[in-house]
């Protein structure tokens, strides 16, 4: 297990990510997630993001059209255009967001990857956490 901390003290990475010696904007940043998913078209992406914002599971979603995914599915290689979607939320909403995406996403096995945020503009982080807290 990796140990981090001040001289003479020991802290695990999990403790650091959950607050440890971090305070202020850095602690707030570590509660924020950027969640990645992809959908087959803009209409499906827009519908999913709109529902998640309305349910306050995400503060916002960014749709990146024009992506191309090459992947193996059911023994065949596929080459498809997709819309990549970046969902911004906080750690407290991860379980509900995951469940909502699984329920609403049209893919049988949707891509859903949560990436922790290490740093961010304090005003943005405050806005983001306030939007999902309501």
pLDDT tens by residue, 51-65: 999 999 999 999 999
Q: Residue 5 pLDDT > 70, yes or no?
A: no
Query: Is 98 in the same domain as 129?
Result: yes
**23 shares its domain with 51:** no
Instruction: Please check whether residues 25 and 82 belong to one and the same domain.
Output: no
78 and 39 belong to one structural domain: yes
Which structural domain range is residue 14 located in? 1-29
Question: Contact, 87 vs 97, CB < 8 A?
Answer: yes
CB distance 122 to 28 below 8 Å: yes
- Check residue 11 and give its pLDDT: 44
Number of domains the chain contains: 2
In this structure, the answer to whether residues 69 and 128 fall within a common structural domain is: yes
70-116 pLDDT, tens per residue? 999 999 999 999 999 999 999 999 999 999 999 999 999 999 999 99
Q: Are residues 24 and 85 in the same domain?
A: no
Torsion of CA 22, 25, 31, 36, to 10 degrees: -130
Cα 63 to the center of its chain, rounded Å? 13
């Amino acid at each position: 297990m990796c140990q981090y901390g001040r001289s003479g003290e020991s802290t695990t990475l999990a403790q650091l990510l959950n607050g440890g010696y971090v305070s202020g904007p850095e602690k707030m940043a570590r509660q924020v997630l950027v969640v990645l998913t992809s959908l087959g078209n803009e209409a499906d992406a827009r519908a999913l993001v709109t529902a998640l914002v309305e349910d306050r599971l995400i503060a916002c979603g960014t749709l990146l059209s024009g992506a191309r995914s090459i992947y193996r599915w059911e023994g065949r290689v596929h080459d498809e255009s997709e819309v990549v979607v970046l969902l911004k939320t906080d750690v407290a909403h991860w379980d509900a967001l995951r469940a909502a995406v699984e329920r609403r996403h049209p893919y049988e096995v949707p891509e859903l990857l949560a990436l922790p945020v290490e740093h961010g503009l304090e005003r943005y982080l405050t806005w983001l956490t306030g939007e999902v807290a309501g």
